[in-house]
Amino acid sequence: MPRRSLEHIRREQLSRAAFETLAEHGLKGTSLLRVAEKADLSKSVVLHYFKTKEALMEAAVRQSNTVTRQEVVGLLRHARTPWERLYAVIEGNFSDKVFRPSLCHAWLALCAEVPYNLQYQRLQTVIHRRMMSNLLPPLRQLAPAADQAQIAFAIRSMIDGIWLAAGLQTGGLDREAALAHMDFQFDRLIPAAGAQQAEKTAARERIRSVYEIRSTAA
C-alpha cells in the first residue's frame, strides 16, 4: 500500500475538522481558528493548507458528501431488491450524520454560489452524477425505459429540494419530517398497488430498520 504524504493526511484531518465545526457552529460560526482548535493544530497550519475560509468550506462540503456517500453505500450493501436500492439512496441522503440544520444552511449557501464558482460546479456535478448512477439501475427494473431517466431526475430533485427547504427554514427539518415529505412525493411519482405495494412497503421498512441498526452501532 502506498504511503500517504503528510499533506494528504493533514488535508483529510482538516477537512474532517471543518465538517465537524460546520455541523456544530454553522456557516457563520465556522472560523479558521475554530477548525484549528477542532483539529488540535495551530491556525497557521490551517492557513498553510487552506488559504481562505472559502477553500476550507469547500473541503467541509466535500467531507459532507463523503459521509453521505458512505451512508448510501453502507445501506446499498444490505439492499436485495430494486425497491430496497431506491430506499437505500433516499435514507442515506437523509442520514442524521449529515442532515442537520447547520449543514442544510451551509448547503444552501454553497448552491447559491454554484453559478459563480467553478469548484462548486464540479462538486455539484460529481454529486448529481453519483446519485443518478445509484438510481438508474433499480429503476430499470421498475419503470418503463422511456421514463427511467426522468424519474431518476425527479427523485434527485426531490432530495435536493428538501435539503434546500430545510436550509431556508430557521429551525430546519428533522430527519423524520424530511422522510415523510419524501415518502409523500415518492409514492406519487412511482405508484404501486397490490403485491407490488406490499413489496415496496416492506422494502422501505427493512432499509429503515437497517439504518437504525447501523446508527445505533456507530
Q: What is the pTM of this model?
A: 0.87
- 103 occurs within a structural domain: yes
- 52 occurs within a structural domain: yes
- 17 occurs within a structural domain: yes
Provide the H-helix boundaries in 77-117.
82-93, 101-113
- 1 occurs within a structural domain: no
Quick one: pLDDT at residue 139? 97
- 164 occurs within a structural domain: yes
- Dump pLDDT digits (tens) for 137-172: 999 999 999 999 999 999 999 999 999 999 888 776
- 96 occurs within a structural domain: yes
**Quick check: 64 and 24 in contact, CB under 8 A?**
no
Answer with the residue of higher pLDDT: 25 or 143. Answer: 143
**Quick check: 130 and 69 in contact, CB under 8 A?**
yes
- 58 occurs within a structural domain: yes
- 213 occurs within a structural domain: yes
Domain that includes residue 104, residue range: 6-217
> Which residues, 6 or more positions from 168, have their beta carbon under 8 angstroms from its beta carbon?
108
List the CATH number of the domain containing 174.
1.10.357.10
Per-residue pLDDT band at 63 (split at 50, 70, 90)? confident
- Dump pLDDT digits (tens) for 43-54: 998 888 888 888
Tell me if residue 29 falls in helix, strand or coil: helix
Quick one: pLDDT at residue 1? 42
Cα(37)–Cα(40) distance, rounded to whole angstroms?
Answer: 5
- Dump pLDDT digits (tens) for 101-130: 888 888 887 788 888 888 888 888 999 999
Count of the separate structural domains present in the chain: 1
Quick one: pLDDT at residue 117? 81
Cα(168)–Cα(179) distance, rounded to whole angstroms?
Answer: 17
